[in-house]
Structure 1
Amino acid sequence: MKIAVFGTGMVGTAIAGALAANGHDVTVGTRDPEATLARVEAGPMGGTPFAEWHAEHQEIRVATFAEAAEGGDVIVNATNGSGSLAALKAAGAQNLAGRIIVDIANPLDFSEGFPPSLNPVNTDSLAEQLQRAFPDARVVKTLNTMNAAIMVDPGSVAGGDHSVFLSGNDRDAKDVVRGLLGEFGHRDIIDLGDITTARGTEMVLPLWLRLWGALGNADFNFKVARTAG
């Protein structure tokens, strides 16, 4: 499958590397490919500099958002939530029509410092905003309730005995995303319903951030324990 990954931080590089390792044809989309390939400083969360990461993943092409989207069957939105709409607009609505957009971003608002708040929240979500902005695309929200390492290696926590969620309006699109999650090793995949249910998973983030602070690391995930049957 041809997959475009938007975002060059820890999440985007983790997802792109794992998808390529699983045999997919992956292109990383960015605003300025030359500047991205020249980046030798660590990311804001201490991630590997992009130039160093790409030297180890030369099979992954780096292109503009529009070029990456044009050739992709699936687009993964791993950009900063505050810049997601702009990144997808830069890709061009014509290049998103009919495509599956896997939205793993969170609408974190750092305007008042840390910890961030959410914007939008309660009556809207980033995933819904993307679906409204690109009505011919098929947006599926997933993976936004865990850190990048666990997204692509769920077995690293509790042997993979934890949950991941899906939200989206298109059943076929969710089936494709379910398959990609299965390739990563996710087993407990819970379909929450239509795209409005993404409000719930995005609103997990304030709890996630406080757990990170309390535990001193991000090596955890949520499990929905339920009766059999």
Structure 2
Amino acid sequence: MGRAAAAVSVNGMRIGLLGTGNVARALAHGWSSAGHDVLLGSRRPDERKELGLPVAGLNETAAHAEVLVNATPGNVSVELLRSIGAPALAGTLLIDVGVGLSDDYTELSHPNSSLAEQIQAAFPDTLVVKTLCTMDSTAMVAPAGLAGPSTVFLSGDDTEAKRTTGKLLTDLGWPPSSQLDIGGITSARGQEHFALLFMGIAHGLGAHTFNIKVVTTAARN
């Protein structure tokens, strides 16, 4: 809580997305449609020119961005961020949407912690916020396509960083009423560990595009 959040404008923000997979591309399209300046970061940008989105190297993407989004596989994310370097990430809001899973999707890479906690520990001067990791890429950017409102979670130690993240979520179609701040960065493990239940639900439904809604007790008169 002692770190100061970087000053950013929520209108026309420069967003760098680390990764070029389904999640990174979906978020890039979503935020681009909302008027933000997006750039995908890749270790091999020359091989990713066919995506229809601007792509650059990792360091260039980090330098461009007011906000970084980690959309890389969770078992390589910390190593990839170290290749960019702590000085380049200091004071930056980093939205982490990754989850570390084994190749067969049956085990977590961080069973007693979370990727977001590992990133925050490795980069103490970076403002890490965990969100969007409890759903697939389609639901992330098209919540209105689901059968009714549902819940997106936020975890992080910096209040202003979570506030900025919340505004970016609103730009993707998540109203404040659907956003639930569940606490500090340690609460990110709850979001990430949901991945195992997500796999079970997907198997039961025969589909991956769904989400959950937190339902409380009915108000009493």
Using structure 2 for the length normalisation, give the TM-score: 0.89
Deviation readout 1:162-194 (Å, 9 max, x if unpaired): 000000000000000000111111131000100
Q: 1:228 to 1:93 in 2, by over 3 A?
A: farther
Deviation readout 1:50-86 (Å, 9 max, x if unpaired): x1x31xx4xxx21111110012110000111111112
TM alignment of 1:199-210, pairs within 5 A: 199-210=189-200
Q: Point out where structure 1 has 5 or more consecutive residues left out of the alignment.
A: 38-50
Name 2:118's counterpart in structure 1.
129
Equivalent position amino acid for 2:147 in 1: A
Name 2:20's counterpart in structure 1.
8
* CA distance in 2: counterparts of 1:103 and 1:28, whole angstroms: 15
Name 1:42's counterpart in structure 2.
none
Among 6, 9, 19, the alignment partner of 2:31 is 19
* CA distance in 1: counterparts of 2:65 and 2:92, whole angstroms: 8
Maintained 8 Å contact 1:67/1:91: no
Identity, % of aligned positions: 42
Maintained 8 Å contact 2:16/2:62: yes
**Whose RCO is larger (CA < 8 A, sep 6+)?**
2
Name 1:167's counterpart in structure 2.
155
Name 2:209's counterpart in structure 1.
219
Equivalent position amino acid for 2:102 in 1: D
Q: 1:211 to 1:170 in 2, by over 3 A?
A: same
Q: Point out where structure 2 has 5 or more consecutive residues left out of the alignment.
A: 1-12
Using structure 1 for the length normalisation, give the TM-score: 0.86
- The runs of at least 4 aligned residues of structure 1 exceeding 6 Å deviation read none
Maintained 8 Å contact 2:74/2:109: no
Name 1:192's counterpart in structure 2.
182
- Give RMSD over aligned pairs: 1.2
Q: 1:115 to 1:62 in 2, by over 3 A?
A: closer
Deviation readout 1:120-169 (Å, 9 max, x if unpaired): 123x110000001111100000000000011011011123x100000000
